[in-house]
Structure 1
Amino acid sequence: MMRLAKRDALTETSGIAGILPGFAAFGSHARGWRRWLAAFAAGAVGALAMPPFGFLPALVLSLAPAIWLLDGTVKEGPSRWAPLKTAALLGWFWGFGTFVAGLWWLGAAFLVEADQFAWAMPFGVLGLPALLAFFPAFGFALARLLWLPDARRILAFALGLTISEILRGHLFTGFPWNSPGMALGQNLWLMQAASLVGLYGLTFLSLCMGAAPAVLLTGRTIRARWMAPALAAMMLLGMASFGFWRVPSEASATVPEVRLRIMQPNLPQDAKFNPRNRDAIMRRYLSLSARPTRDGTAPTHLIWPESAFPFLLHRDPASLAQIGALLEPGSVLITGAARMDEPLPGEAAGKFYNSIQVIDDRGTILGSYDKVHLVPFGEYVPKVLDALIRAVGLRQFVHIPGGFEPAEKRMTLAIPGLPPVAATICYEAIFSGEVLGDGPRPDLILNVTNDAWFGDTPGPYQHFAQARLRAVEEGLPLVRAANTGISAVVDPFGRVVERIPLSVEGIADSSLPVAEPATVYHRWGRFPLTATLLICFMALIVRRGHRRSFP
């Protein structure tokens, strides 16, 4: 009796009714609309951990309530499967809150041509988050299936959501935007772990560390309350220490005789694709690019952003001649541009590609890279939905008849004077482990993009942070040209060498950092993470096998 009374007193003073009274109790006992609202709010708070805010404690404020809400499903309903159904609903509301708060800026794209697309804005701002929320719904259900009544439920939660994040990054063309790993992937020291485990490894670590403090309010003993948070703190300290050790104190070495110039025109999207502005746009590009350098040394490589022209550059000899006249002898221009193949017999027009083209000082196109991973509804309409979409008068955002065609596979781009280049266009840079082409490892990641669709919102900051993390994962420098920003040169450790802020017209002159040796993540890929997840899954399954009933 004395032992039981002591345990009850300990729970009363340091558990649910302790330091933060009622928080865990509300989560585990909430029912009806209060439960779903709490899940939505917890998910929404997590958006503050993402760029550009980077408020890391928001990860705890989002994930700990998710644990308590899942605790409340232990005796849910008359069916043995009722807890799984409730967990899936909790995951859906949590995910809906996460994606609405983290992706609301997508609505800005519908206002670029408001007369055509404004009516569809709710489908982008609410519809896409509603669909994406089915992934954390699956993750919550899987976590609940492996649930244990102690700190090991943190592991089950991290396992379930990590698997759902991997699925979100690959199914239906994939959309791994704002994966929980980005909470750690924007801090210079913490992001270095991506060189070992990549984005999804960071996601697993983020979920473990962010959810661990939940047991502070539910543990029955001092050890039960503090073991998981202490391990999480040690993991965070270990990551920071590894990052401090990995990032050198001196600047990265640079590639000899390479002088980069990135041009950021800061053109509004409604003007950028208007053919009537073609001459004014070209004059702007040429005048910005011709500005004198700080040291009087001409650039060897000039870089312009994605879809730079409201016309087909390769079919415009006058514009190619202007570019040739701009360039110094031996220098080249690397620019985004739409490209069209010659039509095949019986076709009225050829296929269009979103491309990067390399042009020399004679105005000759030396080579091209065609985008592989297109943006659904932005650059093309999925064929299975084409008839339905057009029936309601909708089309893809880009003014290309029939949309762009994807290239068959990713290829390394050869550019005179540069090491082999892993070219990426727009959001191709957000896909962890997929930015390099076939063949030998390149020495540079090039990303050209146009984020003008989204204005001065969190979207461009999030896009840049994800591209920057690719540099750390692969141990390669990143050179990025964006129409409205953020344009930058980033070294293989994620350090920003040069940067043009968002919504600023300007140029950035920089040397090119030398690539680092292949990272552990490049050599091993996701094998270490897969092995870790499998071991955790088997350990939880075996432990649950000792239980006689489904909780």
Structure 2
Amino acid sequence: MHLAPGLLALVLPEMTDSSVRSRDHRASRLKRSASVGPQSEGAGTASALRVYLTAVLGGAASACAWLVPGTGFSAVLGWIAVLLLVYTVRARRAYLPAFAAGLVGHLIGFYWVAGTVSAFGGFGSLTSALIFSLFVALGALLFLVYALVHHQLPAAFDALALRSATAIVIAELLTIRLFPWHFGHTQIAFTPFVQIAGIGGAMAVSFLMFWLAEVSVRIVVFRERRRTFLVPVILFAWAIGYGVAMMRTFSAPQGLPQEVIVVQGNASLAEKRDLDSARKNLDRIYALSCQAAHPGSLVVWPEGSVPAYIPAAIGKVGHPPVLPWIGDGTALLVGSYSFLPDQRRYNAAFAVYPDGTVPRPYFKQILIPFGESIPFSSYLPWLKGLNAKAGVFSAGTETRVFSYPMRRPDGTATTLKVAPLICYEDTVPALARNASRKGAELLINITSDSWFGRTLAPRQHHLIAAFRAIENRRFLIRATNTGLSGVVDPLGRTIASIPPFAEGTATAQVTPLTYRSAYAYGIGDGPWWALMVVAFGVTVHANGMWRVRLSRP
């Protein structure tokens, strides 16, 4: 590579005759940081510009990966971004370049946040711009924390080239991202590779990507050769083999199929806010459902499809029905609103059993600030004035699994166990894990992505949600008001869908599964938290030993 000679300056530590430190101190410092590649003072402005350019290109590659979500091109761009970022943080002063990469990545990749803040929160242009700027800055902290941790880790992480992989996991654990994405999400089209999410979640994919990237950079650019560099290569080969095995298992999973019908009425944001239009949308969804339903099918409606507050203890559909009922053995899962006798209100999902029975609904647990609730408004009432249209919902406190009494085509009775997730909740792995552990055989997300408008956000949302199917080895059904609605198989592949901003239904045969994935039933994110604790302990110990050696005459 032509860049290699110039880049060698990045791995040469500063050593001058005027140094006041001892030779032993310099040798110790070299040992701790040689693999990080501190930038020498003689590298000059050109070297600094090269680092910034590499960082910005890495951020741009990351952003572009999110502009073509779920495609093979996105997967390739994800690898390019990781390679460039791994190279960037090897410079001594990589903090600002890394932060710049994060700014570029979020500004371009999630451009739609500005419009969504305005539509969802009801803010003016200036306030929306300020909130978007805050979102970009907070998101960019992921890149900054990655660089900070990378430089603080001691030489013990260099033998296996684990510095970057460890740093990215810690950064993904510690930073707050309002849109909770991981680098591993870019690989959804690389089906064999992403199956390791069934063991370690999306962070397992990120971890292995950065591990391989560090080995590649150190071999190709910095001409390092170590036998231990074979470890991540072997693990990557194993991951592909594991993925192929999972594809054989879940491409046609064992079990009796269940027909699921997803309904998308394509109600715009304006229609959702107008009661008459919302009722017309309800009639439209009901008509679509009746046309597509078959005895024994499960029909899924989007979030807030029924524009009414329904008592949690309704017990059964009414006459005229407040909740829809098709009959003929058809079951429904419907998005609506609910309340308790104490007048607390909830964003809810109602199950309507084939006989018209309605169990206690599921209450959404994670509310969207300034749209569904105003944080701290109970203490500071004036905050409600920031958005007079904001909901006054309370948060639910438990995961619900509905047990639908169904009948198979041959007439035999069976029970279908379904867990709903509302809106943003399908981006939170813990909620889906809890549902699987409580016995859910299908995961269903009902959402209203009309807030995003005609942007790429619905596709990005769908991509992140697809990882819940892999992690839990369950079919994931997603019904949204304006799209993207669809069905995701346990391998993360979308097997049926309705295009965004279209009216229609999608029918799929899914298999209710009880498979106990390692991620859902045992591992979870525990290993990543343990890795962070170990990294912290090793770093503290290494720094302590370095100070002891330095203090010796």
- TM-based fold match above 0.5: yes
The match for 2:393 is 404
**Pairing partner for 1:416 from 389, 405, 421:** 405
Residue by residue over 1:47-105, the C-alpha shift from the partner in whole angstroms, topping out at 9 and shown as x without a partner, is: 233424553332343233334433331xxxxxxxxxxxx55434432322222222212
Amino acid at match of 1:122: A
Unaligned 5+ residue runs, structure 1?
1-10, 19-23, 74-85, 345-349
Amino acid at match of 2:404: I
**Distance in structure 1 (CA, Å) of the matches to 2:182 and 2:39:** 27
Following superposition, the deviation at residue 150 of structure 1 comes to 9.9
The match for 1:487 is 485
**Distance in structure 2 (CA, Å) of the matches to 1:113 and 1:182:** 25
The match for 2:96 is 89
Matches within 5 A, 1:175-324: 175=178, 177-216=180-219, 218-221=221-224, 223=225, 228=229, 233-248=233-248, 251-255=252-256, 258-292=258-292, 297-314=294-311, 321-322=320-321
The match for 2:14 is none
**SS of the counterpart of 2:248?**
coil
- Is 2:6 the counterpart of 1:16? yes
Q: What percentage of residue pairs aligned between the two structures are identical?
A: 22
Residue by residue over 1:500-534, the C-alpha shift from the partner in whole angstroms, topping out at 9 and shown as x without a partner, is: 22222111122331315201112222344445555
**Distance in structure 1 (CA, Å) of the matches to 2:317 and 2:2:** 80
Following superposition, the deviation at residue 160 of structure 1 comes to 1.8
Matches within 5 A, 1:18-37: none
The 1:300–1:67 alpha-carbon spacing in structure 2 relative to 1, beyond 3 Å, is closer
Q: Does the Cα contact within 8 Å between 1:275 and 1:311 map onto a contact in 2?
A: no
Amino acid at match of 1:189: P
**Pairing partner for 1:163 from 147, 166, 170:** 170
- Is 2:141 the counterpart of 1:138? no
**Pairing partner for 2:366 from 363, 370, 373:** 373
The 1:318–1:422 alpha-carbon spacing in structure 2 relative to 1, beyond 3 Å, is closer
Please identify, of 28-37 and 358-367, the stretch whose mean Cα deviation from structure 2 is larger.
Answer: 28-37
Q: Does the Cα contact within 8 Å between 1:59 and 1:210 map onto a contact in 2?
A: no
The 1:270–1:389 alpha-carbon spacing in structure 2 relative to 1, beyond 3 Å, is farther
**Distance in structure 1 (CA, Å) of the matches to 2:378 and 2:325:** 45
Q: Does the Cα contact within 8 Å between 1:39 and 1:91 map onto a contact in 2?
A: yes
Q: Does the Cα contact within 8 Å between 1:45 and 1:58 map onto a contact in 2?
A: yes
Q: Does the Cα contact within 8 Å between 1:302 and 1:334 map onto a contact in 2?
A: yes
Matches within 5 A, 1:529-544: 529-531=528-530
**Pairing partner for 1:475 from 457, 473, 476:** 473
The match for 1:327 is 326
Following superposition, the deviation at residue 163 of structure 1 comes to 1.0
Following superposition, the deviation at residue 135 of structure 1 comes to 3.6
**Distance in structure 2 (CA, Å) of the matches to 1:183 and 1:281:** 35
Following superposition, the deviation at residue 202 of structure 1 comes to 1.9
Following superposition, the deviation at residue 412 of structure 1 comes to 2.7
The match for 1:59 is 78
**Distance in structure 1 (CA, Å) of the matches to 2:331 and 2:317:** 17
Please identify, of 472-481 and 42-51, the stretch whose mean Cα deviation from structure 2 is larger.
Answer: 42-51
Q: Does the Cα contact within 8 Å between 1:150 and 1:219 map onto a contact in 2?
A: no
**SS of the counterpart of 2:395?**
coil
Matches within 5 A, 1:379-398: 379-383=372-376, 387=380, 390=383, 393-395=385-387
Q: Does the Cα contact within 8 Å between 1:290 and 1:326 map onto a contact in 2?
A: no
Q: Does the Cα contact within 8 Å between 2:153 and 2:535 map onto a contact in 1?
A: no
The 1:333–1:292 alpha-carbon spacing in structure 2 relative to 1, beyond 3 Å, is closer
Amino acid at match of 1:491: D
The 1:458–1:14 alpha-carbon spacing in structure 2 relative to 1, beyond 3 Å, is same
Q: How many residues align?
A: 502
Amino acid at match of 1:508: A
The match for 1:450 is 448
**Distance in structure 2 (CA, Å) of the matches to 1:244 and 1:97:** 35
- Is 2:459 the counterpart of 1:461? yes
**Distance in structure 1 (CA, Å) of the matches to 2:465 and 2:324:** 32
The match for 2:335 is 336
Unaligned 5+ residue runs, structure 2?
9-36, 407-414
Q: Does the Cα contact within 8 Å between 2:279 and 2:307 map onto a contact in 1?
A: no
Please identify, of 301-310 and 326-335, the stretch whose mean Cα deviation from structure 2 is larger.
Answer: 326-335
The 1:319–1:305 alpha-carbon spacing in structure 2 relative to 1, beyond 3 Å, is farther
Alignment RMSD: 3.9
Following superposition, the deviation at residue 164 of structure 1 comes to 1.7
**Distance in structure 2 (CA, Å) of the matches to 1:310 and 1:34:** 56
Q: Does the Cα contact within 8 Å between 2:159 and 2:228 map onto a contact in 1?
A: no
The match for 2:350 is 357
Matches within 5 A, 1:96-111: 96-110=103-117
Amino acid at match of 2:180: W
**Distance in structure 2 (CA, Å) of the matches to 1:241 and 1:153:** 22
Q: Does the Cα contact within 8 Å between 1:420 and 1:444 map onto a contact in 2?
A: yes
Q: Does the Cα contact within 8 Å between 2:146 and 2:168 map onto a contact in 1?
A: yes
**Distance in structure 2 (CA, Å) of the matches to 1:63 and 1:379:** 36
Following superposition, the deviation at residue 114 of structure 1 comes to 10
Q: Does the Cα contact within 8 Å between 1:260 and 1:512 map onto a contact in 2?
A: yes
The 1:247–1:389 alpha-carbon spacing in structure 2 relative to 1, beyond 3 Å, is farther
**Distance in structure 1 (CA, Å) of the matches to 2:323 and 2:292:** 17
